[in-house]
Structure 1
Amino acid sequence: MNLAVFSSRRFKLPLVLPLLLQLASCAVATAAAPAPITVDALVAEIAASNPELRFYEAEVQSAKAAARGSGALADPDLTVELGRKRVREATGVLAGEGAAWSVSVTQTFEWPGRLALRKAIAGREVELAELGLQRFRAALDARARVLAHGLHAANTKVGAVREVADRFAALKETFLAREPAGIAPQLETRVIEANELTLQRRASDAELELQAALLELNQLRGAAAGTPLMVTAPPLEFGEAPEADVLLAAARENNFEFRMRRAELEQQDFEVRLARHERYPAISVSPFYSTERAGERETMLGVGVSVPLPVGGRTRSAVGLAEARRRQAEAAALVAERELERAVLTAAQTFAVKTAEARRWPPEALRHFREAAELADRHYRLGAVPISTYVELQASYLEAVEALLDTQREALAAGLKLRELAGLDAPIREVAQ
């Protein structure tokens, strides 16, 4: 802002400075306040910048790189030998002396089908890595949505608690400014003071809940811990979850954890077949060339074949180990299926109970409770409402806010958990305002 304009219009500097300071403070506050972000935008940002997600993506790349080399033959071995040779006659006389050297290349050939088994095992490793990545993405999406709505709910709770606490603080100042006229005003002052202290503690707890959600969200999106964040979350509408049979069938087909256990079982089947196949030894072929010059020149050209002798029982132990691990994989798959059924049914029951509880709240319930609390505050100051009614209405307003927000958050968490377990779209949608 140009001061010359004020001087030309005969404004005095002492009158201008307070206005400038007020405008500057407003500009700083506007710059410090974060721009509101929607839940979907925040989830997309977390999915794009989460540091831990890079680990699972690198795991997939590592498995794919290992799979590319699993079906190839082993690299050949090149052997070079250098030396000198002396030849003596039976009488001990030196007959000749010269250089001797040889070179050979050894290539190991596997039995037919063995490389295919190793390639299949490596393919299951890629599948497991990809399932792990998909599972983490689904869990990250669900956690981010729960935290985003939790941050919005915590902001609402903090605002409501601060609003009621300010009412009690203003009333306390009003009572303290008056001359006490009897025991009733003194007792009412103590009631107001006690409720104000209780509300201050309640506000501190709500602020801690807000900061915890903010800290975890910033960690998920790879931002600094103290980065401010403002989330706009529209009201949620909860539908009916599918029947239990439909959920269980979808979970057996889509659940990442259960699919990983099945992939591990298939991998162990290939491990058993490979261990049995490896009882037949691999064959190493070594073409070689050697020459010696000790009095006369000798040259050799040939092919060597080597086969390991399975006399130590190592191959039989490998088969036993692979079969034991397959039995472990079968047991793990069975346990995973039982745990999946229990988790799906628990999440479905929780979602049904919480959504039924949320539907019992009228759409304008919180607005009505807030208006009642404001009305009680005005009429209590006029003497038309007793202290008990005033305190009860303020407490009911806060309890209603907390109950509704907690119920919606728990229903949302159960619905997203159901989606994560069964792979079906959660029966939750945002209500346009």
Structure 2
Amino acid sequence: MLALLAAASAAKGDRLPEVIDEAQRSNPELRVLESSVGASKGGVITARTRANPELSFAPGVRRTSESGIGSKDDFHGDFALSQLFEWPGKRALKIALAQEDVTVQQLAVEAFRFEIAAKVRRAFYELLAAQKITTLRQEQVESSQTFVESSRKRAESGYASDFETLKSQAELIAAQRELLDAQGKVAAARVTLNSLLGRLPSASLEVEGTLEGAGVRSAANASYVALAMARNPSLRTLNVQAESAGLNLRATRFGRRPDFAVGPQVEYTHNEQIYGLGVTVALPFWDRKKGEIQTATAEQQKTLAEIEKTRREIEAAVTTASKNLELAQKVRALYTPEFLRKLKALVSQAEQSYAQNATTLIIYLDAKRTYFDALSSYYDSLGNVAGQRAELESAIGVPLDTNP
């Protein structure tokens, strides 16, 4: 086992942080979401910007008629400058709504970045476990090939029967089949991880790391649920959307209060100038925003209902994932260091005894098979713990070491 771990450690490949960083950098959808944050910040600038003043100019001719003199034409012009003012409170609500939209977009980026990391983490550990099992099965094939050669020589020397030769060949075929199965799992895991990294599915990819530290300390399910309720990006997004829905309802109700335009006016002729102050107000006689208020109220209620629904779904997902992780860690704990040490000693003893004709062929082969199958199951259990941890983190929405 120590030789296998040393061989795995010597392998050069991509580490988990590097792989996650590459996946996030190469994902086009993440760049789209990041661009949306910039666009929403532009909405805040727009909400803060006041309306431009309006200048109107109406030139004309004033014709007067006097008896005995005839008509007389004089220049006449109307000038007006007006500035639109929103009802007090409207502009502040618009700014608040725009800022909430920025928060929603930022949460979307955060959630998607974590989603990418969670998917990559699962695929990474799946590939890492498959690589370790492949290395183990390769050692099994090499051991079986040595046994075949030894059996052939023993049979030629008259120290072994044809049964031993056929049995050794059967063991070699079984080992080769296990190796092919392991290589198939490596290929499938590599395709999955390559697709997440934006590489060609068939691109060469080896990963480097350890499975032993992927577990977590046992914790109550309630602590996982509390962490999810406090930090899950989907739930936080819905909470912000609920706040936005409330602000939108207030803004819609404020819509019944009319905006107004104020500005100076000048009426000009060559011998007379009239100055005034113009005020324009829309009278809310017909449009009282009843339809818009009803829609905004329904949207707020819908968002609140979605929050409750999402909270229940998250709690169920976290509970299931935490239970699966607990079971996976219990299975992993079955393979104690003492058991693995004894397993290694057993196969070494069986090899030595068989070489000295002190044990039977069946016992020797059974010891070898038990050794390789047990180590394969051990690596499977390590990979399962890593995968279940990734599932739990995905259900919670943040890494397990995050503070609530």
TM-score scaled by structure 1? Answer: 0.72
CA displacement at 1:210 relative to structure 2: 2.1
Question: Matches of 1:374 and 1:417 in 2, distance apart?
Answer: 38
Equivalent of residue 255 in structure 2, options 278, 282, 295: 278
Q: Deviations over 1:71-119 (max 9, x none)?
A: 332334556678x879799xxxx96889988765553321111111122
Q: Alpha-carbon deviations, 1:300-328, whole Å to 9, x = none?
A: 76555444454555711110101111111
The 1:181–1:65 alpha-carbon spacing in structure 2 relative to 1, beyond 3 Å, is same
* Structure 1: gaps spanning 5 or more residues: 1-32, 429-433
Residue 261 of structure 2 aligns to a residue whose secondary structure is strand
Kindly indicate whether residue 323 of structure 2 is the aligned counterpart of residue 346 of structure 1: no
Cα distance, 1:153 vs structure 2: 1.6
Q: Secondary structure at the match of 1:399?
A: helix
Match of 1:154 in 2: 130
- How far apart are 1:216 and its partner, in Å? 4.1
CA contact (8 A) 1:283 1:306 kept: yes
Q: 1:122 aligns with which of 88, 98, 104?
A: 98
Q: Which residue of 2 aligns with 1:17?
A: none
Shift of 1:358: 1.4
Q: Distance in 2 between matches of 1:290 and 1:383?
A: 124
Distance across 1 between alignment mates of 2:84 and 2:227: 47
Give the match for residue 243 of structure 2: 266
The 5 A counterparts of 1:166-315 are 166-172=142-148, 191-221=167-197, 226-233=203-210, 235-236=212-213, 238-285=215-262, 304-310=278-284, 313=287, 315=289
Partner of 2:141: 165
Moved more, 129-138 or 192-201: 192-201
Aligned equivalents of 2:149 and 2:58: distance in 1? Answer: 101
Contact 1:53 / 1:136 at 8 angstroms: preserved in 2?
yes
Cα-Cα RMSD: 4.3
For 2:133 and 2:372, the matched residues in 1 are separated by 8
The answer (yes or no) to whether the contact 2:125–2:211 under 8 Å persists in 1 is no
Compared with structure 1, are the counterparts of its residues 207 and 104 closer, same or farther at alpha carbon in structure 2 (3 Å cutoff)? farther
State the TM-score, normalized to the length of structure 2: 0.76
Looking at structure 1, the residues matched to 71 and 372 of structure 2 have their Cα atoms a distance apart, in angstroms, of: 111
Partner SS state of residue 284, structure 1 = strand
SS at 1:108's partner residue?
strand
Distance 1:189 1:313 in 2: 96
State how far apart, in whole Å, the 2-side matches of 1:297 and 1:191 are. Answer: 125
Aligned residue for 2:247, secondary structure, equals: helix
Shift of residue 57, structure 1, vs aligned partner = 2.8
Among candidates 43, 61, 69, match of residue 38 of structure 2: 61
Check conservation: 2:235, 2:311, Cα contact below 8 A: yes
CA shift for structure 1 position 130: 2.2
Match of 1:403 in 2: 377
Change (3 A) 1:155 1:80: farther
Q: Quick one: structure 1 residues 400 and 60, their matched pair in 2 at CA, closer, same or farther if it must change by over 3 Å?
A: farther
Residue pair 1:165, 1:200 contacting (<8 A) in 2 also: yes
The 3 A distance-change label for structure 1 pair 110 and 357 is same
Identify the residue that residue 413 of structure 1 maps to in structure 2: 387
CA change 1:119–1:346 in 2 (3 A) is same
In 1, the alpha carbon distance for the partners of 2:76 and 2:224 equals 77
Q: Which residue matches 2:85?
A: 109
Counterpart amino acid of 1:339? E
C-alpha spacing 1:229/1:104, structure 2 compared with 1 (3 Å): farther
Query: How many residues matched?
Result: 388
Secondary structure of the corresponding residue to residue 289 of structure 2? helix
Alpha-carbon offset, residue 147 of structure 1: 3.2
Note the residue ranges of structure 2 that are not aligned, 5 or more in a row.
1-9
Identity, in percent, stands at 24
How far apart in 1 are the matches of 2:240 and 2:335?
45
CA distance in 1: counterparts of 2:170 and 2:286, whole angstroms: 83
Q: Secondary structure in 1 aligned to 2:335?
A: coil
Q: Distance in 2 between matches of 1:233 and 1:151?
A: 12
2: CA distance, partners of 1:36 / 1:299? 87
8 Å contact from structure 1 (residues 57, 133) kept in 2: yes
Counterpart amino acid of 1:255? N
**C-alpha contact (below 8 Å) 1:151/1:231 kept by paired residues:** no
Residue 59 of structure 1: how far off its partner (Å): 2.8
Superposed CA deviations along residues 227-278 of structure 1, whole A, max 9, x for unmatched, are 4334132632745333233333333222222222221111111111111111
